[in-house]
């Protein structure tokens, strides 16, 4: 099925999402909106000029109200993080924007994907403002952190990233929780892999958490990897793939954070509890509490 995909925000991230989505062939129509209407129009024109090199899709800039007709809307509006600025430090600036967009999309019949940081808190903000069912407001969450962990483990172990089965849960940020206890490489427990030392885990976890800071210090923003991540998530929804992915959504305790969820055409369902040791469970509780405090700080 070719879907109508809307992207709100045509900055670094929004345009990377658009490019990756076009290349993946998920969209029959791709709609772009930005408060800077000329920028959205220019990006649409630029992308449309490459139509000979991606699967058939009509690309155009549209007004915000048109987004209500889309099957999937990606929220990528907001400012980027500054060098060494935590994602949570972005909160007040981007929460105001996210809440306004959520209200504008009340009654929307499709699925919202939140990309803007801090993505977990903003997923909660958007869900509350839009009033949409929990399963239809999905943050990209730790899907990117998980990709970063798999890539670094693959390099360290000399295998393909596709052979590494490890994930990160909790906050997409400094309190993220890599799940070492359940990590597998080609069916073998990571902690049983020849040459792997448990002492490496803390160093690698910190490298994954610092990845965005390192990119931002050098080029000002992260955009390409999150574009690929978002296109992957769009594909799971459009094709009803029902993959278990670590994405962010409002959980039963009211906090939005990442846990493995079954992602398909109707959203993110069937939250699963992955294998964790005691330290990982405690870290996940701490991450949840941090995110809850951040959300509640918006009303102070």
Catalytic residue among 165, 172, 224, 269: 172
pTM of the model as a whole: 0.95
What are the structural domains, with CATH classification, of the chain?
3-139 (3.40.50.720), 143-299 (3.90.110.10)
Q: How far is CA 72 from CA 181, 286, 289, in A?
A: 35, 32, 30
Q: Is 26 a catalytic residue?
A: no
Question: Which of 172, 121, 119, 179 is closest to 145 using CA atoms?
Answer: 172
Phi and psi at residue 183, in whole multiples of 5°? -70, 140
Q: Encode 136-164: b = buried (16+ Cβ within 10 Å), e = exposed.
A: bbbbbbbbbbbbbbbebbbeebeeeeeeb
Say whether 287 sits in a helix, a strand or coil: helix
Distance linking the first and last C-alpha atoms of the chain: 45
Q: How far is CA 22 from CA 58, 139, 140, 180, 270, in A?
A: 10, 20, 18, 35, 29
pLDDT of residue 87: 64
One digit per residue, the tens of pLDDT, for the chain of length 300 reads 689 999 999 999 999 999 999 999 999 999 999 999 999 999 999 999 999 999 999 999 999 999 999 999 999 998 777 777 776 777 888 999 999 999 999 999 999 999 999 999 999 999 999 999 999 999 999 999 999 999 999 999 999 999 999 999 999 999 999 999 999 999 999 999 999 999 999 999 999 999 999 999 999 999 999 999 999 999 999 999 999 999 999 999 999 999 999 999 999 999 998 989 999 999 999 999 999 999 999 987
Instruction: State the DSSP code for 170.
Output: B
Say whether 113 sits in a helix, a strand or coil: strand
């Amino acid at each position: 099925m070719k879907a109508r995909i809307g992207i709100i925000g045509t900055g670094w991230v929004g345009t990377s999402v658009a490019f990756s989505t076009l290349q993946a062939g998920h969209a029959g129509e791709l709609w772009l909106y930005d408060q800077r209407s000329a920028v959205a129009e220019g990006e649409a024109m630029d992308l449309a000029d490459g139509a000979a090199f991606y699967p058939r899709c009509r690309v155009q800039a549209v007004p915000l109200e048109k987004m209500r007709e889309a099957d999937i809307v990606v929220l990528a509006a907001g400012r980027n993080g500054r060098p060494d600025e935590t994602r949570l430090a972005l909160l007040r600036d981007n929460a105001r924007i996210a809440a306004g967009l959520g209200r504008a999309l009340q009654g929307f019949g499709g699925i919202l994907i939140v990309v803007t940081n801090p993505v977990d808190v903003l997923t909660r903000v958007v869900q509350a403002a839009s009033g949409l069912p929990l399963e239809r407001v999905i943050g990209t969450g730790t899907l990117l952190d998980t990709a970063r962990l798999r890539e670094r483990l693959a390099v360290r172990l000399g295998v393909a990233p596709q052979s590494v089965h490890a994930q990160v849960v909790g906050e997409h940020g400094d309190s993220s929780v890599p799940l070492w206890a359940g990590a597998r490489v080609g069916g073998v427990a990571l902690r049983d892999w020849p040459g792997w030392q448990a002492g490496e885990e803390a160093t690698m976890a910190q490298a994954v958490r610092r990845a965005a800071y390192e990119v931002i210090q050098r080029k000002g923003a992260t955009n390409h990897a999150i574009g690929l991540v978002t296109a992957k998530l769009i594909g799971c929804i459009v094709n009803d793939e029902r993959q278990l992915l670590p994405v962010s959504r409002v959980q039963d305790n009211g906090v939005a954070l990442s846990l493995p969820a079954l992602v398909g055409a109707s959203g993110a369902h069937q939250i699963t509890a992955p294998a964790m040791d005691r330290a990982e469970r405690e870290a996940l509780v701490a991450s949840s509490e941090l995110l809850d405090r951040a959300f509640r700080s918006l009303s102070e």
